[in-house]
Chains A and B, each alone.
Chain A
Amino acid sequence: MSKLVEIINVSKIYNPGENEVRALDGVSLSIDKGEFVAIIGQSGSGKSTLMNILGCLDTPTAGIYRLHGMDVSHMSDNEQSDVRNMEIGFIFQGFNLIQSLTALENVELPLTYRGVAKKERLKLSKNALSRVGLANRMDHKPQEMSGGQQQRVAIARAIAQAPPILLADEPTGNLDSGSSREIIEIIKRLHSEGRTVILITHDPGIAAQAKRIITISDGKIKSDVINTAQEG
């Protein structure tokens, strides 16, 4: 059986030529279904570039990215859009909710792009919002909610369509410690329910919650270890 995520010798080079920047330099890694992986690195280490490539928001300059055994490294914009829509649930540092839409409408959005019928969409979205404890805030707009609540809406949006991969980019970066704990607990719970979680962070304390920790520096993988503290 093929791996869920398989990256082979991937590089991302900006400004090719004299002043080229190798944001990623020959990175290879694979992630199995059901794993909880943290990718940790300082800013400028290449972890954001890696996350963009893993999330199909960007394509590598060289190398191959296979998702479900399907080569997604050389797709057109629209094909990438479809892969993002079907395969990946994003959780961003800045929440990235649309301010003019209510919580429910924000959660519905990826389902709309997938072409799910209105009735089914509402059912899935309400269900997802209930699972993050926001059943009573569905009609609120983002600015009427706290940071923690906004991030929970974003999580609901990411899980409503049940994608195989949850990609969380510094999910607690804009939150106080109380809300951070809450969000990490929700992410851990989602993992325990069988989802594959990829967590990108610069914070070793957050990374320590994962079962596998990949450290990245200068565009290369420095270490890839099983976190024994969380194992079992």
Chain B
Amino acid sequence: MEYFKSAFSSILDNKARSLLTMLGIIIGISSVITILAIGNGMKHTIGGELDELQSGGVTINIDAKKTDRYLTAEEVKQIGEQIPEAYGASPQISGYGQAKAKNDLSANITGGNETIIHSQTEKLADGRFFTESDVASASPVGVMTQSAAILLFRSMDAVGMTFDATINGITKTITVVGLIESDEESISDAWKSVSAGELWQYINVYTPHTLLTQGFSLPGENIQSFTVFPEPGKQDEVALKAKRLAENMLGLRGQKAVSIQSFASMLETFNKILNIATMVVTLIAAISLIVGGIGVMNIMTVSVTERTREIGIRKALGARTGSILIQFLFESALLTLIGGILGMIAGYGLTFIVSKFMNFPPKILLSDVALVVLISTSIGLFFGIYPAHRAAKMSPIEALRYE
């Protein structure tokens, strides 16, 4: 406690110098925090989206550069029906726009046939999925998750409610016919966002693909990309069969115009890129932290020299070598700890701003906070050893004589 008080007042006595000394630590820690928070937020959001929506789906693409042929919705459905190990196959059209009911949110509207329910693993909690006849008649019906319903309607009891969807300037009123179960965490997160008024998330809505192509005039009648939904563990087999069937239908065998793209591999690519980015920033941060640590060592050495007389007095009054050592180690650790905390605040501020622009919630993990405290304190302790040792081994007579 005494060490803490003494270290704290010594840091406060030299505010400007302390702050400049901390700068390297602040920059290092804030960049680590920013990349960790952005990385976690992106993994959580994108990974969550991919997991939820496409977990088992395998996408088959027809390369528009190699052929001008395409499949119809009917043919895609047939492909699904001809593969026994698949739950089905569906066109997958995305429309990005606004959804408006009680709240106004960005929406990612996914159009497909009735088998697209198999693109996610959660059960229906309420109502029904849209049917073959909804698809045939391009009914303005939609299905979303319970947490999306909370964000949009501020209610989980949303079956039968309507919202206005606007894509490319066209607005249609869509009726919710079913809700997909959300886990408790996303439900409570959604309620928190609603009560805080923080509505930057996307909501995902499933509708018949015919609604998007006919109702909203989105392109997609001519299908060059579709998704098949394999039974668990049958991904590779189903993908290959779907590819063959598409090639046969199009008469494109052996031309490499049809390719398989699985979401698992997309997720892998995304994670790889994110990991490389994390590594690069971590490396920069590590260098910044080492440079910052050397700065702390320099300033502490200067401070020890300036305070030679004080050290002499303390020793004359009975301070042991260890007390002086601990006093200066404490001071340098406290210096870097404060720097680390300031860096953490700066980092989260930066993350908050970035997340506003990039449409994902910042994710602050307790383990990151613990990491920052640990790293910054260790830097202070490590780089404080030399100056503290210098202070501790001073001879009291010489230190007292120092002017």
Contacts and interface: CB of A to CB of B under 8 A. Distances in A.
A and B associate in one complex: yes
B313 interface: yes
Contact of A109 (B317, B321, B322, B400): B317
Nearest to B3: A112
A82 interface: yes
B68 interface: no
Interface string A107-146: 0011011100000000000000000000000000000000
Nearest to B313: A96
B316 A55 contact: yes
Most chain A CB inside 10 Å of its own CB: which residue of B318, B319, B396: B318
B318 A52 contact: no
User: Looking at chain B, what size class is its interface with the partner chain?
Assistant: 20 to 34
B317 A157 contact: yes
A114 B318 contact: yes
Given A78-B322, A100-B9, A112-B2, A85 B317 contact: yes
Nearest to B322: A78
B318 A82 contact: yes
A90 B316 contact: yes
B10 interface: yes
Contact of B10 (A77, A85, A100): A100
Contacts of B314: 98, 109, 113
A58 B321 CA distance: 15
A82 to B, nearest CB: 7
Interface in B320-344: 320-323
Question: Which of A52, A84, A157 has the most chain B CB atoms inside 10 A of its CB?
Answer: A84
B319 A113 contact: yes
Contacts of B318: 81-82, 84-86, 110, 113-114
B315 interface: yes
B284 to A, nearest CB: 37
B241 interface: no
B397 A113 contact: no
B13 A100 contact: yes
B309 interface: yes
Q: Would you call the interface of chain B mostly helix, strand, loop, or mixed?
A: helix
A77 B397 contact: no
Interface string B385-402: 000000000001100100
A57 interface: yes
B164 interface: no
Nearest to A169: B400
Contacts of B316: 55, 57, 84, 90, 96
A57 B400 CA distance: 10
B320 A81 contact: yes
Interface in B1-18: 2, 9-10, 13
Nearest to B319: A113
Contacts of A58: 397
A52 B315 CA distance: 13
Contact of A81 (B2, B310, B319): B319
> Which residue, of A77, A82, A99, has the highest number of chain B Cβ atoms within 10 A?
A77
Interface in A68-86: 77-78, 81-82, 84-86
A67 B156 CA distance: 85
Nearest to A108: B2
A52 B400 CA distance: 11
Nearest to A97: B313
A112 B316 CA distance: 13
A100 B309 CA distance: 12
A144 to B, nearest CB: 15
Given A58-B397, A98-B310, A100-B10, A113 B317 contact: yes
Interface of B: 2, 9-10, 13, 309-310, 312-323, 396-397, 400
Given A57-B397, A81-B318, 7 more contacts: A77-B321, A84-B318, A85-B317, A96-B400, A98-B313, A109-B317, A157-B317
User: Which 5 pairs across A and B sit closest by C-beta, in order of nearness?
Assistant: A85-B318, A110-B317, A113-B318, A81-B320, A78-B320
19 contacts: A57-B396, A58-B397, A77-B320, A77-B321, A78-B320, A81-B319, A81-B321, A82-B320, A85-B318, A86-B318, A96-B313, A96-B400, A97-B313, A98-B313, A99-B310, A100-B9, A109-B314, A110-B317, A113-B319
